[in-house]
Amino acid sequence: MKLTIDGREITARAGQSLLDMVKELGMITGKLSADPLAAKIAGEVFTLNYIPVREKDIQPERESIRKAMAASNGVVQLLRYCDPTGKDAYTRTVQFVLFLALQQLWPDAASQMNCTVGAGLYIKVTGAEDFSAEKLKRQVERIVEQDIPLLRCRISTAEAVEYYTRQGQDDKARLLVYRQVPTLDVYRHGDFADYFYGEMAPSTGFLRVWDIIDAPEGFMFIFPDDLEPDRVAAYREMPNFFAVYTEGKQWGELMECETVADLNELVDSGRIRELIRVNEALHEKRFSQVADTVCQRSAKAVMLAGPSSSGKTTSANRLATQLRVHGKKPVLMSLDDYYIDRDLIDPGPDGKIDFEHIDTIDTALFGQHLAELLAGQEVELPSFNFHNGKREWRGHKLRLHDDSVIIVEGLHALNPVLLPEGLDRELVFRLYVSPLLALNLDDHNRIPSSYLRLLRRTVRDYETRNSSVQRTLSMWDSVRRGEKRWIFPFQENADMIFNSSTLYELAVLKKHIFPLLVAVQPEDEYYDEVRAMVKILNFVHEADVDDEIPPTSLVREFIGGNSFYR
């Protein structure tokens, strides 16, 4: 069978893997930036150990073509570290190697995926005598040097539950009870078996760029640099971010909701309603604390930033409510109104405008207006018309009073370029809002905050903007690139970080999004992205409890019924 791999033709022989063919074509260089980690065929992602033509496929009595190869007409796209899906394959390989090394060195210890801190992945380790990051690093180096093939095998779900129960991994055993499929694919090495809900690199030898350093109660794994994958990324400690995430984990423990299995039990028992009430009370308390701090600082402006679907608009409104309790008169402003006219923005090399770029904001005008407002002057504020892509002046004038506080909400609100020289920084309070989800699938599989944000955005776009799943996904990579460049570098500079996640919302969002996801067919170009979302939601029990969610809840910004939008 003829295949086209990244534009190069090759004849696939029976039993030959994609990795064999890639090597035959001379496409393995030993450099992470250039070497493929996985492959996409007709919208699905496959391991490079995938065999396009099996021996049984060429038997005269039953000659056939594998489904994916037939759907793609033999076209194979290789995925590298620079591709989001390629990086995901690298990350899963990292997880397998790390937990294998931990099991080999400290078989009785417990380890748990926690959070991503910049370019680092924090893993907590308990019950490991003489643990050290350096000792773990040496073991990982040995596993990488062995270049162990990562081959998937299929076992029954019952067998998997029995294995993990025997290994003392009750978190996995409890999760798998909710699996509706009778089989489970795992990767094995010796007596170690694990799975990370997606493809991995073809062997451990592909982990060429990384580092491991000490961290409190565990270690930090440092990934390659996103822009220069052949070198380890520079790691910057983020104590404020880490403290807020750690607090979220502690609340998960207190509310007995640390994993999806815990959440399912709360749904089944009806106690999720109590979880909703406690979560919402916690948010209200945090907004009150933010307002207290703003008033104690005598700040006149709150710059509120956060990545896409963090709940910035609802957060701004709820903070305004709390400031009114203090006798303040909050004024809401949006950085979106300072967009430059679309026809005045130069497109990028791809011919498209990067709407996430700071240069799409008239930073000079905003800085001038902020300085004038804080100086007590009257200012006419602009409005941006998104229908025609133009800034408009509608006579909206504003002058601050002694009890006024501006709340400026926007993607770039923490960027220091927005604050003009000479402005008293004590008058400005910086607030970062992000859903730092502390809920894990199991101890070895975390649910990234970006996953929750994508679910939120997909539901919101469909419910309020009549936008398809595919359209939302088509913009997501661009949104993520913009966040990495324009938001995340400034998050640690915030005076306060607000965790806008709730432990209950996966069960609520599933009701709104799951039918949309399962309707996407395998031939769709976004099928693999959708399948990755489905894999997690398959374990989550749906909760029909919208009536319990207050109209001012952050979750309401995405499922509808938010009283701030009426």
Per-residue pLDDT tens over the stretch 474-520: 989 888 888 988 899 999 999 999 999 999 999 999 999 999 999 99
Domain boundaries, the chain: 2-80, 239-561
> What's the pLDDT score for residue 523?
80
Under the banding of pLDDT at 50, 70 and 90, the label for residue 18 is very high
Q: How confident is the model at residue 524 (pLDDT cuts 50, 70, 90)?
A: confident
* Least confident range of 214-223, 321-330, 353-362, 439-448: 353-362
Least confident residue range of 58-62, 278-282, 304-308: 58-62
Q: Residue 464 pLDDT > 90, yes or no?
A: no
Q: What are the structure tokens assigned to 186, written together? A: 């795992």
pLDDT at 63 over 80: no
pLDDT of 478: 86
Cβ-in-10-Å burial (0-12, 13-18, 19+) of 155 comes to middle
Q: What's the pLDDT score for residue 60?
A: 55
Cβ atoms of 144 and 207 within 8 Å: the answer is: yes
Question: Mean pLDDT across the stretch 238-253?
Answer: 91
Could you tell me which residues come within 8 angstroms of residue 287 by beta carbon, excluding any fewer than 6 positions away?
315, 318, 319, 321, 322, 498
Top-confidence residue, 142 or 169: 142
pLDDT at 345 over 90: no
- Distance between CA atoms of 385 and 188, rounded to whole angstroms? 56
Of residues 55 and 287, more confidence is placed in: 287
Q: How confident is the model at residue 566 (pLDDT cuts 50, 70, 90)?
A: low
Enumerate long-range contacts of 268-272, CB under 8 Å, 24 or more apart: 268/541, 272/504, 272/507, 272/543, 272/545
**pLDDT given for residue 58 in this prediction:** 64
* Per-range mean pLDDT, top range of 189-203, 350-364, 365-379, 474-488: 365-379
Predicted confidence (pLDDT) at residue 61 exceeds the cutoff of 90: no
pLDDT value for 57: 66
pLDDT tops 80 at residue 139? yes
Judge residue 112's burial from the number of C-beta atoms within 10 Å of its C-beta, 0-12 exposed, 13-18 middle, 19 or more buried: buried
Mean pLDDT of 343-351: 81
Higher pLDDT, 465 or 41: 41
pLDDT at 394 over 90: yes
CA distance 79 to 421: 45
Q: Which whole number is the average pLDDT over 83-106? A: 96
For residue 65, name the pLDDT band (cuts at 50, 70, 90). low
Average pLDDT, the chain: 92
Of the pLDDT bands very low, low, confident and very high (cuts 50, 70, 90), residue 458 is very high
pTM, two decimals, is 0.90
Query: Residues of the chain with pLDDT > 70: what percent?
Result: 98
Q: Indicate if the pLDDT at residue 62 is higher than 60.
A: no
CATH code of domain 239-561: 3.40.50.300
Most confident of 219-233, 336-350, 467-481: 219-233
